[in-house]
Amino acid sequence: MNNLSDFRVEKNEFFASHPQSPLTPEQKREFTGLKYFPEDESLRLEVDVEEFPVAEPVEIQTSTDDVRLYQRFGCFRFMVEGQEASLTIYDTDFGFFLPFVDALANSETYGAGRYLEPEPLENGKYLVDFNLAYNPYCAYNDRYSCPLTPWENRISVSIRAGEKIFKPVT
């Protein structure tokens, strides 16, 4: 197995049995694993980020109507299946945060968006690996409060990488 496969196996084990899993006990009993798009190396990007001259604070609403404060760090542009897209990266006390909603939202991906944590690289670029895109915990259980994707990060292209929408067994 490769690193991505190992990561996905470990995540499924965590969701199935760990006390801090976002799944309810009922969901855990029926859980057979998260669904993912196949790995796509073309969506593992090293990007230049155009840093904003001033790190503007922005309030982002959460799924429970709270508000969290982030800093707009910069944006990057990329191509997906011949279409250009751009996304804003936010800076937090815990590192970089990239929420996004793609054209597959509410059909193949979670409607409120998926998350990534871009990694700064030694060459001044950032690693944005959409194969690692994941659903926030509120996608599994409404007891969690998750930042909602800002409008500037709602893109019209399809990102066929990472985690798919969660559909519990009923």
Report pLDDT for 170. 57
Q: Is residue 69, in this structure, part of any structural domain at all?
A: yes
Q: Is residue 165, in this structure, part of any structural domain at all?
A: no
pTM score, two decimals?
0.94
Q: Is residue 68, in this structure, part of any structural domain at all?
A: yes
Closest CA to 110 of 78, 149, 66: 149
Q: Round the CA-based radius of gyration of the chain to a whole number and report it.
A: 16
Q: What residue numbers bound the domain in which 97 lies?
A: 36-153
Q: Is residue 31, in this structure, part of any structural domain at all?
A: no
CA–CA separation, 136 and 22 (whole Å) = 9
Q: Is residue 90, in this structure, part of any structural domain at all?
A: yes
Residue-wise pLDDT for 94-134, tens only, equals 999 999 999 999 999 999 999 999 999 999 999 999 999 99
Report pLDDT for 168. 74
Q: Is residue 23, in this structure, part of any structural domain at all?
A: no
Q: Is residue 82, in this structure, part of any structural domain at all?
A: yes
Q: Is residue 14, in this structure, part of any structural domain at all?
A: no
Report the domain count for the chain.
1
Residue-wise pLDDT for 152-168, tens only, equals 999 999 999 999 999 87
Report pLDDT for 72. 96
